[in-house]
């Protein structure tokens, strides 16, 4: 039973993959991207967030937000405790496959 369900799901997935891969926006607006670009952006963002999570011992790297556009440009924002943490986050983003450019908007949190 489980094998039949798995084979059925696989067959449906294989039939739908060309539709996802070749679908495009009908209005050709440059601000919108298709499903393939969205998946690519999500993969890049997830890779960066995973690497940041592995460095959680550095303190506030968990407070850094990551956004990726359809061209592989990454925006980092949020707060960090030191310039070292900022540099680490930027380095992680720059060294992630698929990233073309990194914009750093991370603020250093002042301690009282």
User: How is the beta sheet containing 101-108 ordered, strand by strand?
Assistant: 64-68, 73-80, 101-108
All residue ranges of the chain with pLDDT < 50 are 22-32
> By C-alpha distance, which of 100, 105, 97, 103 is closest to 51?
97
Residue 3 belongs to some domain of the structure: no
Residue 106 and residue 112: Cα distance in Å, rounded? 19
pLDDT given for residue 25 in this prediction: 39
Residue 56 belongs to some domain of the structure: yes
pLDDT given for residue 14 in this prediction: 64
The rounded Cα 58 to chain-centroid distance in angstroms is 21
Q: Quote the domain boundaries for residue 43.
A: 35-112
Based on the structure, what is the number of domains in the chain?
1
pLDDT given for residue 106 in this prediction: 92
Residue 23 belongs to some domain of the structure: no
Residue 64 belongs to some domain of the structure: yes
């Amino acid at each position: 039973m489980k094998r039949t369900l798995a084979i059925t799901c696989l067959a449906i997935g294989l039939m739908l993959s060309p539709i996802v891969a070749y679908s495009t926006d009908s209005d050709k607006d440059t601000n919108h991207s298709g499903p393939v670009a969205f998946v690519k952006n999500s993969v890049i963002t997830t890779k960066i967030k995973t690497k940041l999570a592995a460095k959680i011992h550095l303190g506030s790297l968990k407070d850094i937000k990551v956004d990726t556009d359809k061209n592989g440009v990454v925006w980092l924002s949020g707060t960090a405790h030191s310039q070292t943490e900022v540099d680490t986050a930027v380095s992680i983003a720059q060294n992630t496959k698929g990233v073309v450019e990194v914009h750093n908007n991370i603020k250093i949190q002042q301690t009282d």
